[in-house]
Chain A
Amino acid sequence: MTISNEAVDRRQVPRRATPAIVEVRNLTKSFNHTVKAVDDITFEVNEGEIFGFLGPNGAGKSTTIHMLTTILKPTSGTATICGYDILKEANEVRRSIGVVPQEYTADEDMTGYDNIMLCADLYGIPRSTSRKRALELLRLVELEEARDRKVSTYSGGMRRRLELACGLINHPRLLFLDEPTLGLDVQTRTAVWSYIRRLKEEYRMTLFMTTHYLEEADSLCDRIAIIDHGRLVKIGTPNDLKEGIGGDIIELGLKEDSDSASGLIGQVKGVKDVKKVSVLSYRIKAELGEETAPRIIEVLRENGLHVTRIALTKPTLDQVYLEYTGRSMREEEVSSEQMMNHRRTMRAARS
């Protein structure tokens, strides 16, 4: 309860102008001189936003993240992160970002606490500071109780939370999350979302995430970039993207048959297209359907026409995704789940 109150308080504090924290310019990565995994992409991420990277498997999401987190060198093009060049000032970039990889990278033979301390050592954080931080972060992700247990006894959700804590150990301004909820059940996924929201709202952190899950991108991200075949095909807020493919659909039933109805509806603000589907029903394409629909009803009533039924359909991100990538999101989820199983098997093989 107190958390949400504070979050509201925070919003009232005037925010300073938000310059781009990530600036990507013509970034390209080709493997073996032929396959272009990432093909000339340019975009910006604003400070304080949750930016989502959406795309099918092999679209170039991970390759882009790897370049931005200085794991891979771009073939051409450049990017700056927090004002530092990813090639020339790689170490400064590494110091200012946190990374939560797709895989569970925590060492299974070590305790949760020891894993966080290992990360702290990799950032060169002095012990006096890191001990305090590790405990704070364990509290944040609710792993205090389990801190002295080996990671091999953790559940998938706990491991994911531990990865999150490790990624935050250097108090980064920008956190990269690669498929943060991959393979998690709905309940745990919701929990992870709430941590991500807290990071943005309470810590003013910028988050750059990739995801396969539509609901996730829709409810969590301020802006989304759709990437396919290494190219950036669309970028904008979830609402912009949905509006972009033609707006909402309003289906309307009338009591009286009227020749003037189509014309009347067409004049209402926000209506883009009216089609008479049958004698008494109409199919209307409109912007901001929830505001346009009442206006339509009002105009019709003023002209003595009565609406018998009305239905509003909002375009989903799935339709947006389908429109730009030619693939449905659902197919992707299956394959990523399969990959997860594959990873689990490998982990079992290791221990």
Chain B
Amino acid sequence: MSEPADPTGTQTEERSRGNETDEDGSVSRSPFHGLWALTNRELKKWYKVPVLLFLSLIQPVLWLGLFGKAFNLGGLITGGGLEIPGLSIPKEVLNQIAATFMENTFGTGDYFSFLAVGMLTFVILFTAMFSGMSIVWDRRFGFLNKVLSTPVARGSIVMGKVLSSVIRSLIQAGIVLLIAVLLGMDFSNFSAVSILGTFAALFLMTLGFSAFFLMLALRSGDYQTQMAIVNLLNLPLLFGSNALFPAKFMPEWLQAFVQINPISYGTDVGRQLLLGAPGMNTLAFDFAYLIGFATVFSVIGIVLSWRYLTK
């Protein structure tokens, strides 16, 4: 075909390129293509808006500051609360009693360090709980349908959400830990192994919770329902664990719940590794439980979400 002298040569080029459908032969056929793109889309919303990250950290830090610092249990004994008339107890003895009391109750010298580990699981739980929200929006705004019409694997759509929630919650937990240390958390037991071990436990916890809440969100379909579910679950999950208080002073029925609550296990690993505290269970049992929880719930969550997406 003879090309006429055409000043818009670029247009001709563009057009002919558009006709070449063969060019698409080079596309990736990996089942994981698009997974990182979808994960990163979620993460971008978060790291590109620092205010959001800041806001999500306010709550755990407030808890640390207000609850952890104000609730000075050791001070109850040493601060003159134990004045008995006619009985003069030397100050050293009082301090000794307080320390023993704290050790026996919390497994560590101060409540602040005890609570700091609890806050790691707290921030993880809250991030995971809202992992489902974005898929509700994606569905409402048609993004989900658009993604479904592309050759991206159905599993990747679900995994992208779970993965972004996992990454986000672990980073937030890392920041909370740093702040806790700055505020005076006891870090004498910290080591590379203890920190890695703690985050491995947190990873398992957030994986299970993220997949589970994602599945709930996809099924419930609207964000009001999801909000209601989240609000309904967060209080019992948090208080029915050893994150804020040691379980041994709880009534038996509550202790039974604490024993099945995965949050207790994540916290237990953290306290044993980071604070050197005696645990609720052995580390091996804690990890086995968390692995079981993460496997069962992520499989259920992902399979149900996947089935829902391919209806």
Contacts and interface: CB of A to CB of B under 8 A. Distances in A.
A313 interface: no
A73 B26 CA distance: 28
B178 interface: no
Given A140-B14, A203-B19, A124 B142 contact: no
Interface in A57-89: 66, 69-73
B88 interface: no
Contacts of A104: 141-142
Contacts of A99: 146, 149-150
Interface string B21-37: 10110111110011011
A94 interface: yes
B148 A70 contact: yes
Interface residues of A, number: 46
Interface stretch (B5-13, B203-211, B263-271, B275-283): B5-13
Interface stretch (B40-48, B229-237, B251-259): B40-48
Interface stretch (A105-113, A262-270, A301-309): A105-113
A99 B152 CA distance: 14
Contacts of A103: 141-143
Interface string A1-23: 01100100000000000000000
Contacts, number: 116
A170 B15 contact: no
A122 interface: yes
Contacts of B30: 124
A202 B15 CA distance: 6
B151 A73 contact: no
Contact of A122 (B19, B21, B24, B147): B147
Given A97-B149, A129-B26, A121 B33 contact: yes
B92 interface: no
B24 A118 contact: no
Given A126-B28, A171-B18, A109 B148 contact: no
A123 B26 contact: no
B142 A107 contact: no
B14 A136 contact: yes
A129 B23 CA distance: 9
A339 B15 CA distance: 36
A178 B60 CA distance: 45
A254 interface: no
Given A136-B17, A350-B137, A124 B143 contact: no
Interface string B280-311: 00000000000000000000000000000011
Contacts of B93: none
Contact of B34 (A102, A122, A170): A122
Nearest to B142: A103
A348 interface: no
Contacts of A71: 145, 148-149
Interface of A: 2-3, 6, 66, 69-73, 91, 94-97, 99, 101-105, 107, 109-110, 118-119, 121-126, 129, 136, 139-140, 166, 170-171, 173, 176, 202-204, 346-347, 350
Interface of B: 6-8, 11-12, 14-15, 17-21, 23-24, 26-30, 33-34, 36-38, 41, 44-45, 48-49, 137, 140-143, 145-152, 310-311
10 contacts: A66-B145, A70-B148, A101-B149, A109-B45, A122-B37, A129-B26, A139-B14, A202-B15, A203-B15, A350-B137
